[in-house]
Amino acid sequence: MEPLDADRDPRVLGPFELLARLGAGGMGVAYLARRIPLDDPADELAAMYRLVEPDEAVDTAEPRLAVVKTIQQHLLDQPGARERFAREIDSVRAVVSDRVPALRAADTEAAEPWFAMDFVHGPPLSTLVEGAGVLPVGPYAALGLHLADALRAIHGTGLLHRDLKPDNVVLGPDGPVVLDFGLATLIERRTSQMVTGPGEAWGTRRYMSYEQLRDFRRTREPTDVYGLGATLFFASTGRAPYAHEPLLTPPDWQGVDAALRPLLAQILVPAPERRPDLDGVEMGLRAILHEAALTEERAFEELRVWVREAALAPELPPEALSGRVDPAVRERAQRAVDEGDAPDRPWAGAGDGHDPESPWGGSAGFFGIVDAEEPEPVEPDALRPGTPPGYTPTVVDEPAAEPARPAAPAEPPPAAAPTSYPLPAPRPTEEPPPGVPRTVRRVAERLRKTYAHSGKL
């Protein structure tokens, strides 16, 4: 967790005040944030930002903290990408579990789209093991049962995680929570367009399954079972099953407790059809508890005590512990909602979305944790052999406007440059009636798009 950088980080995104930077990478930036109560009517604000938390719940002495994650605009440049992302946000919201942070809000139409999820205050599993040592049998089995619950909730909505690893498991006050499962569907869209060669995948190679490394798009639930096994292997040894990437040979079992080997040996196999399902994993973990003469309740309590006594939760900034909001920050957030992107995205400007003259600078990032093994994105031009550099088939450049000549009659507008396929005729734009709030306009536009596709409007 790092302080905000005034040269590159915003202070406000939608109705959220950003308090600290949690991490950055190729996908976007993750921030610690808190909700700001605003003056807009609750229903309009909720519809605009897909909020699921009423204003009265945030106007308290102890604000609920959130993680606000941005997504770089270039990842959503493909036609229809924003609409898909909006649907994927709704899919993520459908995952309801104590083992998964709840999605609280999103703005899929912003210059740099973002979404907000509950913040879990605790150390990642990687930090816990490095600081307090490998887990004893009771906490180990309790961790595995909680992670199986999380995967069951994710799979129940038709999603996959595909990047389960120690860094994506946080040990919060109420038990382990799995992070970044919402990354899967967005990455799937991206890789289906950009990853063209065999052996390329998205995830963390040391914790991914063999089939994920070979054919990312065809992976199914057994891949997440492997990630669960690899994460439990780390919890018992402090290392990944393989040093670099999954192999066809068994992992090095040195240092693995003999009571844990049978279950891990069933999970960490190259063939996905030979792995147990989540029910089988849970049965194996309960068998481990039975052999250790422990109940599940006792194991869960031992895990809570282990985490609490380790005292490795990150230190929060002072603002996160106070219910007071700086009036200037609240005013900025109110302007962002009332007026549009300008106050909300103060660095947006100059063509590429980054204004070098702005004191806010630019932005890049990820969903929270830097992954050095992230594949380099392939430029869209590379997907079309023979395509000239810079070619954009769906956008027509408009010629620069000439100075007005009052004495000469108006000339007809120049014809659009030819494209690779006919473009639809431009639709007339209608100016909204004066005085209509921005929230109402955006909600009405979203409803119009939804019903236009259903044929009911």
Residue 256: C-alpha distances to residues 136, 166, 199, 437 (Å): 11, 17, 30, 61
**Residue 124, φ and ψ in degrees, nearest 5:** -65, 155
From CA 117, how far away is CA 93, in angstroms rounded? 9
- Using DSSP's 3-state secondary structure scheme, residue 24 falls into strand
Q: Name the residue among 403, 383, 443, 395 with its Cα closest to residue 421.
A: 395
DSSP state of 32: E
Q: For residue 203, which of 232, 154, 168, 152 has the smallest C-alpha distance?
A: 168
Q: Which of 163, 224, 344, 371 is catalytic?
A: 163
Radius of gyration of the chain (CA): 25
Q: Which residue has the tokens 């941005």?
A: 70
User: Residue 2 carries which DSSP code?
Assistant: B
> In the structure encoding, which two tokens stand for residue 135, read together?
């887990």
β-pairing, 169-172 with 175-178? antiparallel
Orientation of helix 137-155 relative to helix 221-237, angle to 10°: 160
How does DSSP classify residue 43? Answer: H
The pairing of beta strand 65-70 with beta strand 103-107: unpaired
389 alpha carbon, distance to own chain's centre: 31
- Return the bridge partners of 177, or none: 170
Cβ 120 vs Cβ 172: under 8 Å: yes
Strand partners, 68: 31, 116
Residue 252: active-site member: no
Hey, which residues are catalytic here? Answer: 163
